[in-house]
Amino acid sequence: MQNRPTHLIETMNIFAAVGRVILALFAAAGRLAIFMLDGISHSLRPPIYWKVILQEMIGVGYFSLPVVGLTAFFTGAVLCLQIFIGGSRYGAESFVPQIVVLGITRELGPVIAGLMVAGRVSAAIAAELGTMRVTEQIDALTTLSTNPVKYLVTPRLIAGVVSMPILVAIADAIGVLGGYVVATRALNFNSSVYLKNTANFVTSGDVSSGLTKAAVFGFIIALMGCYNGFYSKGGAQGVGAATTNAVVSASILILASNYLMTSLIFTR
Amino acid sequence: MNGVPKIELRGVKKSFGRKLVLDGVNLSIQPGDSIVIIGGSGTGKSVTIKCVLGILRPDAGSIKVEGQEVTGLHGRNRDAYLRKFGMLFQGAALFDSLPVWENVAFGLIQGHGISRRRAREIAMEKLAKVGLGADVANLSPAELSGGMQKRVGLARAIAADPEIIFFDEPTTGLDPIMADIINNLIATTVRDLGVTALSITHDIASARKISNRVAMLYKGKIIWDGATAEMDHSGNPYLDQFIHGSAVGPIKMEVRQ
Ligand SMILES: Nc1ncnc2c1ncn2[C@@H]1O[C@H](COP(=O)(O)OP(=O)(O)OP(=O)(O)O)[C@@H](O)[C@H]1O
Ligand SMILES: [Mg+2]
């Protein structure tokens, strides 16, 4: 009986701690939402910084091509091999081209490219904006009558949304090529039959669903890089933390939103 | 004092977490004044100017520029307001993705809509004024020495011929001769163009040269404010200790021996 009050207080403390964590979570989500809306709304109001958009598109799209192309190639190759091994148990080897193209265009192309670009570009954006924050370059922009969100964030969001689908379209093609190379070189598929089965099976819906996902991933990648960089603090250490957070949060959001979009697009 | 002050701070307070930095700063600056704020390291001199520029939002108090309340300005009004200002940051804060000349021309191109070609000409002119030649114009800021970066920052601050200029330690990190050139530049800019200037410096000789007024910040308040010429016979022990750079006096630095 005697220790009941302290017991009660301890329970209350747990509630208070949980409450604090939840409040902090909501505050962070709210701040992110405001930041995002601010970034989007500036894309509708002039001036628009075309030069920065172009620069960022080259960074997101063009310079990610080698790494995304390589990963797509090997993903297509290994997918082909596994489907062949798995399918041969049921005598279903002939479905390899169809399943490869489906897997690549619907899921693996966008997701693999998304994750690779998240690692490359989210990190780079967070490091750049984070450094600009801690060296007061973002404040300097303000004093030169330039809105830092408009100048730094909006062009990167636009570049992400525009260049990711292009990148994924190329990754899709390279991924299918990877499967084709393994199938015809190692697994004795007839080259023209493989190509014909691929082309006849894939629909524009498969491709466009993947490209829609790519646009969303591009947005997530740019947003996470910008948000973490923009609000980083505390010198080199803070910039390091911002970079890590950007990559981790972008990757998680890509995988989670991918599931959400798949269930929205394909299970209606 | 007569007329509407160019800048007027009343009871400005600012703290970071539990740390109180500004505890009711009162300061009024007349048009054409060149005022220097002095004070120990970490007393909130940089924070004060950041509050005026709206980079930091004061917790309390009012800041008026030409009689208009400016705390809480945002959007286009804020852009228009900031067009009156030039600012030299303590760490120069140059954009390292842009070459030197574009750093200087940035406000002209983005804020004032001047053509790139014309802006480049003006940038070269301003660079020459701070003793930098055409050879550095296309370098990236990372390729410059600290003192050179500071001077580029200075050129950027005066590029758009603003009405009000803030210099955060303009001569720190410069050799004595270059420091004197910069002091002269500030003095002539104020005198010839009629701008209002607020500088922060630890260099008392420089303060004498560039200012007509001095204000001293101590423990979050302005504890002395007067003509530069009267600085030496203020009778204020804090100010005396500061300008003579003496370790003995009422100001105790928080160090352990
Ligand atoms: N963004 C910030 N977040 C937290 N604390 C800050 C921030 N900016 C400044 N401070 C604190 O405010 C105090 C005053 O800083 P300020 O930069 O104004 O000093 P200062 O007077 O300019 O000093 P110095 O002469 O060394 O430049 C410091 O103690 C600093 O720790
Ligand atoms: Mg300072």
Between the two ends of chain B, the Cα-to-Cα distance in Å is: 46
Does B4 fall in a domain?
Answer: yes
pLDDT at A92: 77
The residue of chain B nearest to residue A38, with distances taken between CA atoms, is: B75
pLDDT at A1: 47
Is the pLDDT at B39 greater than 60, yes or no? yes
Mean pLDDT of B170-176: 84
* Residue whose structure tokens are 């030299």: B88
B167 vs A: CB within 8 A: no
| Mean pLDDT across chain B | 87
Provide the domain count of chain B: 1
pLDDT at A124: 93
Mean pLDDT of A18-22: 86
- Do B196 and B65 meet the contact criterion of CB atoms below 8 Å apart? no
Q: Which domain holds residue B70?
A: 1-81+198-249
Is the pLDDT at A94 greater than 90, yes or no? no
CA-CA distances (angstroms) from residue B32 to A98, B7, B200, B212, B224? 78, 11, 17, 10, 20
Does B242 fall in a domain?
Answer: yes
List the CATH number of the domain containing B218: 3.40.50.300
The number of residues in chain B equals: 257
Closest CA to A253 of A212, A218, A207: A218
Does B187 fall in a domain?
Answer: no
The residue of chain B nearest to residue A151, with distances taken between CA atoms, is: B110
Closest C-alpha to ligand 1, atom 2: B16
Does B1 fall in a domain?
Answer: yes
Does B32 fall in a domain?
Answer: yes
Q: What ipTM is given for this predicted complex?
A: 0.87
Is the pLDDT at B222 greater than 80, yes or no? yes
Pocket lined around ligand 1, Cβ cut-off 6 Å: B 16, 21, 39, 41-47, 90
At residue A228 the predicted structure's pLDDT band, cuts being 50, 70 and 90, is very high
Show residues of chain B in contact with A147, CB under 8 Å: 79
Does B134 fall in a domain?
Answer: no
Does B25 fall in a domain?
Answer: yes
pLDDT digits (tens, 9 = 90+) for A128-145: 999 999 999 999 998 998
Residue A126's contacts (CB-CB under 8 Å, 6 or more residues apart) are A224, A225, A226, A228, A229, A232, A239, A242, A243, A245, A246, A247
The Cα–Cα gap between A109 and A167 comes to: 9
Angle between helix B116-129 and B146-158 (nearest 10): 120
Is the pLDDT at A73 greater than 90, yes or no? yes
Contact criterion met (CB < 8 Å) for A137 and B50: no
Q: Which residues pair with B214 in a beta bridge?
A: B36, B226
Does B20 fall in a domain?
Answer: yes
pLDDT digits (tens, 9 = 90+) for A39-64: 888 888 888 888 889 988 998 888 88
